Structure 1
Amino acid sequence: MSKELPFISRRSAVYGTHAIVSSSQPLATQAGLEILKRGGNAADAAVAVAAALNVTEPSSTGIGGDAFCLFYDAKSKEVKAMNGSGRSPAALTLKYAKETLGFSGKEIPAKNLNSVTVPGAAAAWVDTVEKLGSGKVTMEEVLSPAIDLAENGFPVSHISANAWKGGEQSILKASPNFNEMLIDGRAPREGEIMTNPNLAKTFRTLAKEGKKGFYTGRIAQEIVDLIQSGRGVMTLEDLAAHDTQFVEPISIDYEDITVWECPPNGQGIAALIALGVLKELQKQNIVDFSKLEHNSAEYLHTIIEALRIAFADARYYVADPDCVPVPSKELLDEEYLRERAKLFIPSKTNPEIKKGYPTHNSGTVYFSVVDDYGNACSFINSNYMGFGTAAIPKGCGFTLQNRGCNFTLTEGAPNCLGPNKRPYHTIIPSMITRKGSDGAHQLVASFGVMGGFMQPQGHLQVVLNLIHYLFNPQHALDVPRICISPPDDEKDSSDPLAYSFTDVSKAIVYVEDGIADEEIEKLRKMGHTCKKLEHYARGMFGRGQIIQVHNDERTGKRVLSAGSDPRADGQACGW
């Protein structure tokens, strides 16, 4: 058994001039670099990384999950957004869930196969390459590094081995096909060679046949057979009807930058609301980050309260905009944010934070690629709750997600369970631009922080680290973070990420090892309930990647700098 992890990363920021890939697995980073060197662009490389992560870190991600991306197009200087999340089965109504399946809680149970929404990742990979890629590499080439890893094997890394071990019992219980992702009924150990020939076969089918190879035929039939064996109602028609959506990204101007997120059904708007609240507090001279020491109690109190305000709105209003109206524009309206900022009390926590009424006014793996053409792809791919349901369709080599757990079973709520509907989604990529003298958006950073409801919280803290404290990308990830989360009695004891987070007034503030004890005590005196986490428990604070872009002052040449989160096995690498 390996020793528990030290807190401080010994990594330095990574620099390059042509391209950089940053991901949570060195072998996946290398897969992305290989595609870039073959002539692929950031989008092509991102899919290569996603597939390689499915092989090397299946406890976080896979083709049985969903994907989102933001793509910076260097030619048009535009940010494009892709939503690769799937919908609930057509037959899964709230009435059926409650009366026939007997669901009586706030959400679908985490391991129930009715929590499986149509996996969107496969279609998202194909569409990313076909619609955002360079056209210089084929899908077969993009998936070839991952296929090689799956067929010929790879040594399992430290944190991945620990997470695999944590999901071992779930995999054993979820389906009869458990040994497709275990070794004789156990998780692979650190440094042990692991193969997954069935996943390689799935990738070959996708590469050869495209989306129809996944959403129809053998793979689709195995998915449906498995789900229906557990009283699930997904059908072949549900899978065949799936499509990826290219949507308009949402953004907010903050200081001299613009921060971009994917729109709902993703939760990126929570990060933007929190930034908007902080922007209003600074306008009113209530908060001055130049006078707040980083990770002091006063600083942490400010971001905690901004996040509580943001989640109060996001957890209520974020839903599938194809099914219910989602007031994204109103939630980011300056006047509305000014009203929400009035809830902030500098000296203590506000127990009365509830959702606002914007229409009455005028949280996985994350990775990033910047290529030699100037494009960037901020990409996130996830199962949810580790291995998701942990159920493996026969002969396919991947587990099915459980994103349907993020629906609420509260009738009338925007995010209430319904047929052909996408749930509130936690996975969110992000990007930062700055307007140049010509008014066009110039890329500043492609970044993200994975980890359920931690993700917008991580985005907020990373942006503040980069903009107000001028940390380099690696240091911006190294420094300890906080995470607000529901009390323990609202969580599944077998999976602390299995919660709905509906009442921010009861939020616990989890504080990472490295934040001074005296600052934690000051937070408690302000009314916050704080719990300190260390060692492997630090996984709650997410695992991020950052690639920044700037020009060298002397030569004018473009310089890329990157960081990879010390809470993962990752690597940033470039040339």
Structure 2
Amino acid sequence: MRVYIFAAFVVSLSLNLTLGQDRVTGATYATRSEVLAQNGMVATSHPLATQIGLDILKSGGNAIDAAIAANAALGLMEPTGSGIGGDLFAIVWDAKTKKLYGLNASGRSPKTLTLEFFKKKGMEKIPSHGPLPVSVPGAVDGWFELHRKFGSKQMNEILAPAISYAENGFPLTELIAWYMQSVTSYQKRGFANISETYLDQNGGKLPGEGELYKNPYLANTYRKIAKGGRDAFYTGEVAKTMATFIQEKGGFLSEKDLADHKSEWVEPVSINYRGYDVWELPPNGQGIAALQMLQILEGFDFSKIDFGSTEHLHLFTEAKKLAFEDRAKYYADMDFVNVPVTELLGDDYASERRKRITENASSYDAGEISAGETVYLTVADKDGNMISLIQSNYRGMGSGMVPPKLGFMLQDRGELFSLKSGQANTYEPGKRPFHTIIPAFITKDGQPFVSFGVMGGDFQPQGHTQIVMNLVDFGMNLQEAGDAPRWDHVGTSTPTGFPKEGTGEIRLESGIPYETVRGLMDKNHKVSFGRGIYGGYQAILWDRENKVYHGASESRKDGQAAGY
């Protein structure tokens, strides 16, 4: 009898390990429990940034104050994905007006840099590094716009924790220490001010995991911003230093480009997915690609399709291909191009696109419409305010352009323009480039439900769609929805002007069953495996019945969700 009992135990254990059910609760995909709290919640990709946000909430600040404080900390603690040299987007749920507000704090291209310049150089694409892809950094103006409209604490209080950590140091976490090795590659390529900014202030070497990292230059820049406001960054000494440096290196960013910069409040857009309103920001970002995918997928009955099955991944991938062809053709700066957002998100259009999907992997063109590493954080406070905020430099640390003694690297978002004439996202002076970073929000019956985001370049709309489906179609809790195995598809046309690559390729994370791999191959999909390409997720869910926040943080990152 004991032999049979032991054998049964082994079989049961094997099944549980296969499903990932190694926890008492049996939550199939979660690596840990959701975090629960009543008065406030902060979820970021760095534990110290989360604690800073939580301290702001506990001391009387609101969700917006805490988000700015946490973002400033991430610019110091996770410079491999963010910083004040980059851009910012946010969606805010305001408890007073019971409404969502969207902020586009992305910067524009230099006004004196023309398409003709690139054509004379014989360039087919804008370089990934150096001075030419540098656009105006929008994050700081984004902070002050958020603060002006919704903030409560003084900015010097909000930035004080990041200033203190920049001066006194903090231990590098495992993943960021690994990513920080990219500093060496910038150094080897001869980019200026790398050593003095990232090494010299730390005893002449790059700290490793658990070793203290400081950035006094950034502390000084933050102090100027705290005292002088956004103008201390976009005019005066800091702006002059940025512009002079870029122009000395052969770029075009000017003091006037910086002084003229402004963020834009925009109306978030949404579709209803099985009773849940999913919200994104309109272009120049790619958020509506997630909405287009969901519109197409809603036409299939996922109550009869298992998570991670061949049918699940096949339908998802084909929907992605359809949406991304539209993304390449239509998404761009709406100040320059009339992007047909309403038509792209329409039920009739989704129905027509859905009909294109076949039993096997296919290649698609964009629809015809008459008319184009990052950090994510989310915060909720005791009054019911919630903010979904994403911020990035692009390509990890950015362009390699580090202005002297300011403590940060400038972004290279300009790389994402097309240099082919006549396209929606073709380069123009003063234009905002196509953007990959997107915050998201879900409401239910006009009330806040989930504030979330998934970092990761082109993966982000795919990640958003996977999260929504995990929550709505597959009944996962907030932590499971982020920890469940992911996949992405590459090879569709790009907004930078490059065509699709046949039917592309699906890259799978560990945890997708081998039966699914074989099934996808049978449907003529090209399948591979990838590591570290599946983004980073943070989320807060509001349980209005029990008046409790649920928090979740990405198991693939160093992050933390915490509440009180």
Normalising to structure 1: TM-score of the pair?
0.90
CA gap of 1:501–1:77, structure 2 versus 1, over 3 A, is farther
Q: Which residue of 1 aligns with 2:150?
A: 132
Q: Which residue of 2 aligns with 1:519?
A: 516
Per-residue CA distance 1:307-355 (angstroms, 9 max, x = gap): 111111012211011111111111111111111111111x21112x111
Q: Which residue of 2 aligns with 1:495?
A: none
CA gap of 1:94–1:525, structure 2 versus 1, over 3 A, is same
State the secondary structure of the residue aligned to 1:310: helix
1:121 aligned to which of 108, 122, 139: 139
Per-residue CA distance 1:518-569 (angstroms, 9 max, x = gap): 2112111211111112xxx2x21000111111134xxxx3011111011100
Superposition map of 1:164-563 within 5 A: 164-173=180-189, 175-179=191-195, 180-182=197-199, 183=202, 186-279=205-298, 281=299, 287-345=300-358, 347-351=359-363, 353-359=364-370, 364-435=374-445, 441-486=446-491, 502-503=499-500, 505-533=502-530, 537=531, 539-552=532-545, 557-563=546-552
Contact 2:183 2:198 in 1 (8 A): no
State the secondary structure of the residue aligned to 2:370: helix
State the secondary structure of the residue aligned to 1:246: strand
> For the residues of structure 1 that align with 2:47 and 2:563, how far apart are their CA atoms?
12
State the secondary structure of the residue aligned to 1:447: strand
State the secondary structure of the residue aligned to 1:395: coil
Q: Count how many residue pairs are aligned between Structure 1 and Structure 2.
A: 533
Matched, 1:73 2:70: no
Structure 1, unpaired ranges of 5+: 1-6, 282-286, 436-440, 492-497
CA gap of 1:447–1:516, structure 2 versus 1, over 3 A, is same
CA RMSD, 1 decimal: 1.8
State the secondary structure of the residue aligned to 1:358: coil
Per-residue CA distance 1:493-531 (angstroms, 9 max, x = gap): xxxxx9876426442211111111221121112111111
> For the residues of structure 1 that align with 2:198 and 2:327, how far apart are their CA atoms?
35
State the secondary structure of the residue aligned to 1:98: helix
> For the residues of structure 2 that align with 1:382 and 1:103, how far apart are their CA atoms?
29
> For the residues of structure 2 that align with 1:526 and 1:431, how far apart are their CA atoms?
34
Task: Report % sequence identity.
Answer: 42
> For the residues of structure 2 that align with 1:385 and 1:506, how far apart are their CA atoms?
25
- AA of the residue aligned to 2:404: K
1:24 aligned to which of 45, 48, 61: 45
Report the more deviating stretch, 443-452 or 162-171. Answer: 162-171
> For the residues of structure 1 that align with 2:188 and 2:205, how far apart are their CA atoms?
8
Q: CA deviation at 1:301?
A: 0.7
- AA of the residue aligned to 2:279: W
Contact 1:406 1:500 in 2 (8 A): no
State the secondary structure of the residue aligned to 1:573: strand
- AA of the residue aligned to 1:348: N
Q: Which residue of 2 aligns with 1:569?
A: 558
State the secondary structure of the residue aligned to 1:119: coil
- AA of the residue aligned to 1:356: G
> For the residues of structure 1 that align with 2:62 and 2:174, how far apart are their CA atoms?
30
Per-residue CA distance 1:379-423 (angstroms, 9 max, x = gap): 001000101112211011001100001101111001001100001
Contact 2:419 2:497 in 1 (8 A): no
Contact 1:172 1:178 in 2 (8 A): no
- AA of the residue aligned to 2:156: E
Per-residue CA distance 1:35-79 (angstroms, 9 max, x = gap): 111211111111111101011110000000000000001121111
State the secondary structure of the residue aligned to 1:313: helix
Q: CA deviation at 1:166?
A: 3.2
Contact 1:485 1:501 in 2 (8 A): no
2:128 aligned to which of 91, 99, 110: 110
Q: CA deviation at 1:172?
A: 4.8
Q: CA deviation at 1:84?
A: 0.4
State the secondary structure of the residue aligned to 1:290: helix
> For the residues of structure 2 that align with 1:140 and 1:543, how far apart are their CA atoms?
30
Normalising to structure 2: TM-score of the pair?
0.92
> For the residues of structure 1 that align with 2:114 and 2:499, how far apart are their CA atoms?
21
CA gap of 1:138–1:172, structure 2 versus 1, over 3 A, is farther
Structure 2, unpaired ranges of 5+: 1-19, 21-28
> For the residues of structure 1 that align with 2:428 and 2:187, how far apart are their CA atoms?
28
State the secondary structure of the residue aligned to 2:36: strand
Contact 2:171 2:213 in 1 (8 A): yes
- AA of the residue aligned to 1:218: E
Report the more deviating stretch, 49-58 or 332-341. Answer: 332-341
Per-residue CA distance 1:248-295 (angstroms, 9 max, x = gap): 11111111110000110010010000011112x2xxxxx211111101
> For the residues of structure 1 that align with 2:241 and 2:442, how far apart are their CA atoms?
41
> For the residues of structure 2 that align with 1:95 and 1:402, how far apart are their CA atoms?
20
State the secondary structure of the residue aligned to 2:137: coil
> For the residues of structure 2 that align with 1:142 and 1:49, how far apart are their CA atoms?
9
Contact 1:171 1:391 in 2 (8 A): no
- AA of the residue aligned to 2:132: N
Per-residue CA distance 1:364-386 (angstroms, 9 max, x = gap): 11111111110100000100010
> For the residues of structure 2 that align with 1:505 and 1:337, how far apart are their CA atoms?
22
Q: Which residue of 1 aligns with 2:10?
A: none
CA gap of 1:276–1:174, structure 2 versus 1, over 3 A, is farther
Q: Which residue of 2 aligns with 1:151?
A: 167
Q: CA deviation at 1:185?
A: 6.1
